[in-house]
């Protein structure tokens, strides 16, 4: 057993001083004491917060960050650059990607996530097959590579193999450049079952599924996949991209007469095991119904801004009791602070008001968003995380408050100064399951991960 002592920590009941946390050998909090004596205990200066879940990641896309920013690189037809033109750049890159490339990208990404303050990641994994679209000898090869990288880096992972069968609504055939993603139900469940058998009982790992989108699965296939998952684990997380783009909404209306979120709520039992990624374009009725469902809205503000998706109706959704979490998705930014900052800034720019998501007078905006994202992240990952309390995994981060702009700040002002006022990264220490993974801002694999990532870049961009 390990015992840690913090001068200040954010607990479910609020801020507390002189907090002693006892951690079992398997990484769970078994005791928690406030206003405690620190004598003889490992003292950690700074402010402890629960580690954050990054609930939406496509690891391989990290290697592309910054490469979709030149106008007209993909659309030579003269159409405006859009999500769909960016997607062409992304497809071109992954056409040649090899298993060892995935390993290198994921390791570097997960090391960087930990240093940013993310202690668990939900990996929405759709790159299954070889460059020709054939299954590897181990059909779960790419998934195994990603999980291995997470275990090596020391980050918790909820792995979500993606079911991708079609190229558009009504079972439209997929395109050749989607060949590495495609599975029917049986082949998909072969992957899911193998992963569940291999990793289902492993600490820090959870296996769920991700039907890619309503474009990529038919209603029958979606229902069959959920039923098949229930045979393995009836509480496992289910994530789906939805209503990210207005074109998707228009196509869904043309196909079904319903908007995407509306259709999903009417045709599946949507509850807290579901995470709807983006859900950007919703009517007020959809927003209210999704909030009432207790499903998580998985928001990815930096990616949604980068791809020109639109603005999620965050104020209404939160006021209706909706649950949100954050993800870095395309990894244009791997920065917890930026996700929360731009979640709020998007609303400010749209409404021309301030502190839009604070939740009421005299409330801290950053505190409300941090608390909300902890709850949603834990729910979406289906793991015992998201709070410093007995029974939860000992995943926590420590902010260095010895220099400005955090110096001298107290309680919620610490969070506000970090999220809105900090240009450097104050995350100094990170613990996952009680293991001291990031120390003084450094991860033990920093140099190895950077070297492997650079080698990958030489191979793929020579």
Catalytic residue among 101, 288, 329, 371: 329
Q: What span, in angstroms and rounded, lies between the C-alpha atoms of 53 and 395?
A: 10
Among 164, 150, 91, 93, residue whose Cα is nearest residue 122:
150
Site map for Zn ion, 168-187, x if CB under 5 A?
--------------------
Report, in Å, the least distance between residue 427 CB and Zn ion.
24
Residue nearest Zn ion by beta-carbon distance: 329
Nearer to Zn ion, 61 or 183 (CB): 61
Q: Is 278 a catalytic residue?
A: yes
Nearer to Zn ion, 120 or 365 (CB): 120
Q: What span, in angstroms and rounded, lies between the C-alpha atoms of 289 and 239?
A: 17
Q: For residue 101, which phi and psi values (nearest 5 degrees)?
A: -70, -45
Map residue 349 onto helix, strand or coil: helix
Report, in Å, the least distance between residue 268 CB and Zn ion.
19
Nearer to Zn ion, 106 or 401 (CB): 106
Report, in Å, the least distance between residue 60 CB and Zn ion.
12
Nearer to Zn ion, 49 or 334 (CB): 334
Catalytic residue among 278, 281, 331, 443: 278
Beta strands in 273-374 (DSSP E): 274-278, 296-299, 323-326
Residues 6+ apart with CB under 8 A from 20: 3, 4, 5, 6, 31, 32, 33, 36, 38, 41
Report, in Å, the least distance between residue 7 CB and Zn ion.
38
Q: For residue 5, which phi and psi values (nearest 5 degrees)?
A: -130, 125
DSSP 202: S
Q: What span, in angstroms and rounded, lies between the C-alpha atoms of 21 and 34?
A: 9
Size of the site for Zn ion (CB under 5 A): 1
Nearer to Zn ion, 332 or 430 (CB): 332
Nearer to Zn ion, 306 or 364 (CB): 306
Nearer to Zn ion, 68 or 434 (CB): 68
**Residue 363, number of CB atoms within 10 A of its CB:** 12
Report, in Å, the least distance between residue 157 CB and Zn ion.
16
Q: Tokens representing 228? A: 């098949």
Of 322-341, binders to Zn ion (CB under 5 A) are: 329
Map residue 453 onto helix, strand or coil: helix
- Give the DSSP H or E segment for 114: helix 99-116
Report, in Å, the least distance between residue 300 CB and Zn ion.
7
Report, in Å, the least distance between residue 124 CB and Zn ion.
6
Of 290-329, binders to Zn ion (CB under 5 A) are: 329
Q: What are the distances in angstroms from CA 212 to CA 17, 56, 125, 240, 256?
A: 44, 12, 9, 5, 18
Among 421, 397, 395, 396, residue whose Cα is nearest residue 408:
421
Cβ atoms 422, 313 nearer than 8 A:
no
Write out the residues near Zn ion by the rule CB under 5 A: 329
Catalytic residues: 278, 329
């Amino acid at each position: 057993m390990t015992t840690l002592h913090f001068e200040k920590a954010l607990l479910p009941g609020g801020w507390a001083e002189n907090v002693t946390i006892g951690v079992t050998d398997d990484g769970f909090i078994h005791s928690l004491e406030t206003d405690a004596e620190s004598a003889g205990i490992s003292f950690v200066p700074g402010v402890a917060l629960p580690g954050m879940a990054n609930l939406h990641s496509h690891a391989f896309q990290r290697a592309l960050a910054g490469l979709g920013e030149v106008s007209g690189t993909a659309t030579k037809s003269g159409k405006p650059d859009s999500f769909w033109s960016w997607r062409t750049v992304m497809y071109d890159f992954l056409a040649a990607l090899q298993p060892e490339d995935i390993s290198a990208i994921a390791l570097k990404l997960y090391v960087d996530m930990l240093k940013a303050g993310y202690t668990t990641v939900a990996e929405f994994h759709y790159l299954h097959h070889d460059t020709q679209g054939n299954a590897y000898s181990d059909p779960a090869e790419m998934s195994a590579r990603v999980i291995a990288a997470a275990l090596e880096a020391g980050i918790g992972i909820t792995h979500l193999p993606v079911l991708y069968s079609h190229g558009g609504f009504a079972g439209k055939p997929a395109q050749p450049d989607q060949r590495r993603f495609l599975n029917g139900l049986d082949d998909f469940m072969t992957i899911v079952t193998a992963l569940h058998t291999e990793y289902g009982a492993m600490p820090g790992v959870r296996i769920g599924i991700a039907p890619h989108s309503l474009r990529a699965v038919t209603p029958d296939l979606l229902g069959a996949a959920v039923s098949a998952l229930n045979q393995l684990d009836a509480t496992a997380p289910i994530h789906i991209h939805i209503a990210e783009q207005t074109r998707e909404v228009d196509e869904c209306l043309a196909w079904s007469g319903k908007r995407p979120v509306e259709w999903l709520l009417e045709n599946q039992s949507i509850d807290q095991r579901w995470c709807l990624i983006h859900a950007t374009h919703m009517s007020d009725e959809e927003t209210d119904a999704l909030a009432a469902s207790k499903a998580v809205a998985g928001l990815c503000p930096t990616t949604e801004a980068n791809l020109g998706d639109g603005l999620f109706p965050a104020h209404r959704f939160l006021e209706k009791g909706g649950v949100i979490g954050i993800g870095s998705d395309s990894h244009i930014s791997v920065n917890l602070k930026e996700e929360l900052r731009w979640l709020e800034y998007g609303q400010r720019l749209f409404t021309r008001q301030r502190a839009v998501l604070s939740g009421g007078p005299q409330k801290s905006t950053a505190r409300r968003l941090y608390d909300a994202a902890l709850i949603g992240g834990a729910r979406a990952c289906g793991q015992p995380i998201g709070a410093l309390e007995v029974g939860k995994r000992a995943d926590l981060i420590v902010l260095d408050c010895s220099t400005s702009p955090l110096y001298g700040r107290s309680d919620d002002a610490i969070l506000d100064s970090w999220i809105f006022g900090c240009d450097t990264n104050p995350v100094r220490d990170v613990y996952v399951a009680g293991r001291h993974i990031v120390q003084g801002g450094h991860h033990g694999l920093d140099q190895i991960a950077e070297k492997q990532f650079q080698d990958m870049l030489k191979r793929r961009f020579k």
